Amino acid sequence: MSSQQTYDFVIAANRLPVDRHVHPDGSTEWRTAPGGLVTAMDSVMRGWESGAAWVGWAGFPGEAPEPFDDGKLRLHPVPLSGKELSDYYEGFSNDTLWPLYHDVIVAPTFHRSWFTCYRTINQRFADAVCEVAAEGAQVWIHDYQLQLVPAMVRDQRPDLRIGWFNHIPFPPVELFAQLPWRATVLRGLLGADFLGFQRPDDARNFARSCRAVLGATTKGDKVEWAGADDGRLGAAPRTVRAAAVPISIDASGFRELADSPEVQARAEEIRESLGDPDVVLLGVDRLDYTKGIRHRLRAIGELFEDGEISPDQVTFVQVATPSRERVEAYRTLREQIEGMVGRINGDVSHLGATAVHYLHQSYGREEMAALFQVADVMLVTPLRDGMNLVAKEYVTARHDGGGALVLSEFTGAAEEMPQAYRCNPHDIAGLKETILQAIRDEPAEKERRMRGLRRRVRKHDVQTWAQDFLAGLAAAPEKPGRGGSK
């Protein structure tokens, strides 16, 4: 064991919570990447006496920087070469697991060499966790990129308490079963004490997969696996809890931001620059095929063509943040979306009245908060989404009581937000009707719905999410082993 300092609380996620900025003079600076996870972790980290460490990739290929401190948090970078980035991250994570876990909206690509690399990188993350974790520490592993890490850590360090949270859906066994490495992935996950999912259905899908693929037994939210005597990853018998712990946003922080005079002034400016239309429709998504942007454009395009809405009164703003641009399916999607926007604008816009404003750019948080204030109807219409934080941010930003949320039933958020205008994005006729209803309903009805939605997010914010997860981890069925070898 090295003599370096160890920590009672360790987070492992694909990315560190900081971005490196290189100044023109060549000097570098680390800036905290704003986001819900960072805020949530900030609130829970204060409870650990020896502090906390975060294991993750620093955001650029090649040699990793030396571990360093960011306030009270110890950051422990894990290196990834360009080839590893392409095979483990863009390949297996984003072109195999991502489509498979999102209902196979596009076909997943299966390559044995990608999985080999995924396993190597998961082992690298696991080794880094074991290096920084103090005896008996709590370890919180995040997301689908690190599914083998729980068992890889446990095999080395049975003294640790290990939790894993899945930010994306867990697919039904009928889809999961396609994965050639399905048993290894489940054995990797069962190395945890507690597995958190966005929806009860995700936890149930996981439990069913364990039954069908591994022959495990389940009782309530407990999964029991008798283990294997093959000496491979995670062979020891296990009892693990798998339950829903839906993620949320930093509601008070976001509301404060939306309330600031700068954001309010910017919202007015945006509305004016759009020509002060009667109705602004808004979509904000990473440019991803799971988000249902094409279905949304189809519905809106038809509403303009049918004359139900006119660009003189209604305008649609779509922010599509650049994402995974080296993966083929994302490049194709971008071309399709841009073709659709061009066609709609060509057919129905007039000079001075643009039907669709399409922005393939990233913005600061202030600009997002201002855009939410401007949106009379927010369109969150994914074909499948683990949770969808945009829906929660929007209702929080609209503390003035205005606005309306159209929300796909295929998001985790739909379970918690029953007052939204619910839609099935595959049903274009139904989607058109729902959008019209959200535009035309009486203000009092919209206010009633928005009040309920805001209350829910305020009560269940990202801090309560983190506390719920850690409570689940603390109450997990098995007591950690003692004196694990290091």
- Find the radius of gyration of the CA atoms of the chain: 23
Query: Which of 58, 186, 242, 247 is the binder for ligand GDG (CB under 6 A)?
Result: 247
The residue among 203 and 390 lying less far from ligand GDG, judged by its C-beta, is 390
3-class secondary-structure state, position 161 = strand
| Window of 15-23, 80-88, 327-335, 380-388 that interacts with ligand GDG by CB under 6 A | 380-388
Q: What are the DSSP calls for 324-363, one per residue?
A: -TTSHHHHHHHHHHHHHHHHHHHHH-BTTB-SEEEE-S--
- Contacts with ligand GDG in 381-410 (CB under 6 A)? 385-390, 393
What CA–CA distance (Å, rounded) separates 160 from 136? 5
Pairwise CA distance, residues 375 & 378, whole Å: 6
Between CA 459 and CA 470, with CA 465 as vertex, the angle to 5 degrees is: 135
Nearer to ligand GDG, 24 or 364 (CB): 364
CB closer to ligand GDG out of 253 and 430: 253
Report 128-167 residues binding ligand GDG (CB under 6 A).
167
* CA 252 – CA 178 distance, rounded (Å): 42
Residue 209 or 408: the one with the smaller Cβ distance to ligand GDG is 408
Smallest gap from residue 29 Cβ to ligand GDG (A): 19
Q: Is residue 168 at the binding interface for ligand GDG, with CB under 6 A as the rule? A: yes
Please tell me whether residue 464 binds ligand GDG under the rule CB under 6 A. no
Q: Rule CB under 6 A: is residue 321 a binding residue for ligand GDG?
A: yes
CA distances, 408 to each of 60, 168, 421, 434, 435 (Å) = 35, 15, 8, 11, 12
Query: Any alpha helices (H) in 190-320, and if so which ranges?
Result: 200-209, 251-259, 261-273, 293-306
Q: Which one of 4, 260, 273, 362 is in contact with ligand GDG (CB under 6 A)?
A: 362
CB nearer to ligand GDG: pick between 182 and 286: 286
Q: Which two tokens stand for residue 111?
A: 């390559």
The CB density around residue 74, as the number of other CB atoms within 10 Å, is 21
Q: Which residues contact 224 (CB under 8 A, 6 or more apart)?
A: 216, 217, 218, 237, 238, 239, 240
Q: Does 221 bind ligand GDG (CB under 6 A)?
A: no
Q: How many whole angstroms separate alpha carbon 363 and alpha carbon 242?
A: 36
Scanning 108-116, 212-220, 257-265, 360-368 for contacts with ligand GDG by CB under 6 A, the matching segment is 360-368
Q: Is 461 in the site for ligand GDG (CB under 6 A)?
A: no
* Nearest residue (CB) to ligand GDG, 122 versus 198: 198
Nearer to ligand GDG, 7 or 165 (CB): 165
Say whether residue 284 binds ligand GDG (CB under 6 A): yes
- Give me the least distance between CB of 262 and ligand GDG, in Å please: 15
Q: Does 317 bind ligand GDG (CB under 6 A)?
A: no
Q: Which residue stretch of 86-94, 233-241, 361-369, 435-443 sits at the interface with ligand GDG (rule: CB under 6 A)?
A: 361-369
Q: Are 100 and 78 in contact (CB under 8 A)?
A: no
Would you say 143 or 159 has its CB closer to ligand GDG? Answer: 143
Q: Which residue has the tokens 């139904």?
A: 430
Count residues contacting ligand GDG (CB under 6 A)? 18
DSSP structure class, residue 367:
H
Tell me if 360 contacts ligand GDG by CB under 6 A.
no
Strand runs (DSSP E) across 155-193, as ranges? 161-165
Strand-pairing partners, residue 164, are 141, 195
15 binds ligand GDG (CB under 6 A): no
**Which is nearer to ligand GDG, 162 or 168 (by Cβ)?**
168
Among 111, 182, 222, 286, binds ligand GDG (CB under 6 A): 286
Does residue 368 touch ligand GDG according to CB under 6 A?
Answer: yes
By the criterion CB under 6 A, which residues form the site for ligand GDG?
167-168, 247, 284, 286, 321, 362-365, 368, 385-390, 393
